[in-house]
């Protein structure tokens, strides 16, 4: 446990009055968890964390799993390929404007408050469509949820280039 406090102090998450220990002695999983939880600056602004996180991304890109840390918890990695839809729009899957149910990872944003009913022919076949726009792709589509005393923090990352 002392190793985690030392690493927390190193990445700026607790004051530097932690019990004496060497951050390098912490397990790889705890180093990853603490570096991923850093926010001001993020892990990329902490020289100690850069090689730790690069090693993590290399391992994940080669099919490895998220490492464990007995002093903390992270969820299994997830994947969110798109940014959230703008306010008032709902993510949907399917072709532009088609009648589709909401889909969290859908590639389109639909304005469900503006249904458009189109009927064709004498058979009475009608469809409802909605105005849609394409969703923006995330630069960092993978994530883990990190649990702490302050709640759950989502950490996004990319494996591109690893």
Listing DSSP states for 9-74 in one string gives HHTTSS-S-PPS--GGGS-HHHHHHHHHH-BTTBGGG-TTHHHHHHHHHHHHHTT--PPP-TT-EE
Rg (CA), the chain: 22
pLDDT value for 98: 60
Q: What residues does each domain of the chain span?
A: 2-76+142-157, 90-134
pLDDT in tens, 88-103: 999 998 765 566 678 8
pLDDT value for 44: 96
pLDDT in tens, 1-44: 444 444 444 444 444 444 554 555 689 999 999 999 998 999 99
- Contact yes or no for 72/4 (Cβ under 8 A): yes
Which residues are registered as beta bridge partners of 79?
Answer: 142
pLDDT value for 150: 82
């Amino acid at each position: 446990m002392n190793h985690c406090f030392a690493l927390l102090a190193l990445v700026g998450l607790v004051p530097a009055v932690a019990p004496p220990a060497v951050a390098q002695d912490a397990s790889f999983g705890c180093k990853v968890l603490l570096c991923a939880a850093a926010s001001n600056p993020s892990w990329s602004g902490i020289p100690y964390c850069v090689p730790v996180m690069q090693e993590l991304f290399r391992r994940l890109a080669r099919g490895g799993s998220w490492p464990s840390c007995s002093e903390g918890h992270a969820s299994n990695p997830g994947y969110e390929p798109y940014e959230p839809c703008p306010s008032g729009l709902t993510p949907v899957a399917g072709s532009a404007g088609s009648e589709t149910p909401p889909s969290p990872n859908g590639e389109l944003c639909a304005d469900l408050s503006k249904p458009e009913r189109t009927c064709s022919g004498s058979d009475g076949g009608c469809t409802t469509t909605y105005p849609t726009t394409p969703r923006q792709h995330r630069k960092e589509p993978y994530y883990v949820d990190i649990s702490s005393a302050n709640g759950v923090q989502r950490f996004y990352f990319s494996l591109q280039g690893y």
